Amino acid sequence: MLRLIAFVFLSLLHAFPALAACGAGPDLEQFLTPAEKDAIAAIEDETANSTGTLWQATRDGRSVYIVGTMHLPDPRHSVAMAALRPILREVDALYLETASDGAAQMQSQIASDPSMIFAADAGTPTLPELLDDATWQQLRDAMAARGFPAPLTAKMRPWYVSMMLSIPPCAMDTMTSVVGGLDKMVERAALALDKPVRSLEDWQTIFSTFSEIPYQEQVDIMALSIMPDEVSEAAFTATLDAYFDERHARSWGLSEVLSHRIPGLTAEQIEAESARMQDLLLDRRNQNWLPVILDAVQDKDILVAVGAAHLIGENGLVALLENAGFALTRLPL
């Protein structure tokens, strides 16, 4: 189920226009049954604040502007930036999940401590030792298509492999660009205006969160994350399209429905795993960010730019701020 929150982790990476390489792929609709389409629509209908990318929350004369970001570049971000530039001129500070200084610290730490993404502990079995031969071959081929040779893949931490499997091969060769997505565009614009840029959490948070998942469970999830490249590419493109349509619950719905195709898992197991991942990587972080936001807005107006998945649902930032006494207004893009 780690595929459900792949874009959360991508907030810590640099990426380049995936659509330039993947846009010609198949339409996901051709892979969905009528029942799956109905299920996705139901998830959209049932999710609180399922749509909307830009919000203003006001209380006691102060404003928190919230924008849901996509951490991958796309020319369509120009629409959001046109709306955000006037807001950046008005606010006193920008808050991101992890600002660039934190991301730089992360990259430096990974370079000096490869065990953050490689299971280098003595006695830790490699992935070929943990998987049956057929599954290892399938995983090895999928990662090779993404530019990772088998010796490296064999020693990677399973959660990191799952993240890489969420990115189709057509997007991998541009992952090292420094262009960045909407969050990076907003950060650069804020710095150009001499606005302070702050992080909502320490960059190590996401790594410690993944460490809470038992190792064997990481392996099981990873093995179940492999899907045909054409389906992966179609799902990737559909997720991006849903974002620019401001239908953020649709992205979640797509992952939920596709996860039910995983063999060997019951619907109850899938729902339980989905709920746990949502708690670990979305809800819990939202709850931890709320005091930071409330403290900041006591004496200044701020813009908060976080992955769009953090806006939706009863535990999303929009609902949390409303519950804290803010008046919420959806702003047009």
- Max Cα separation, the chain? 62
At residue 17, the pLDDT reads 34
At residue 258, the pLDDT reads 76
Most confident of 43-57, 179-193, 255-269: 43-57
Q: What percent of the chain has pLDDT over 70?
A: 84
278 Cβ neighbours under 8 A, 6+ residues apart: 4, 5, 313
138-162 pLDDT per residue, tens: 899 989 988 899 999 999 988 888 8
Region 293-309: mean pLDDT is 96
Give the count of alpha carbons within 13 A of 19, CB side only: 17
Nearest to 146 by CA among 166, 127, 177, 172: 172
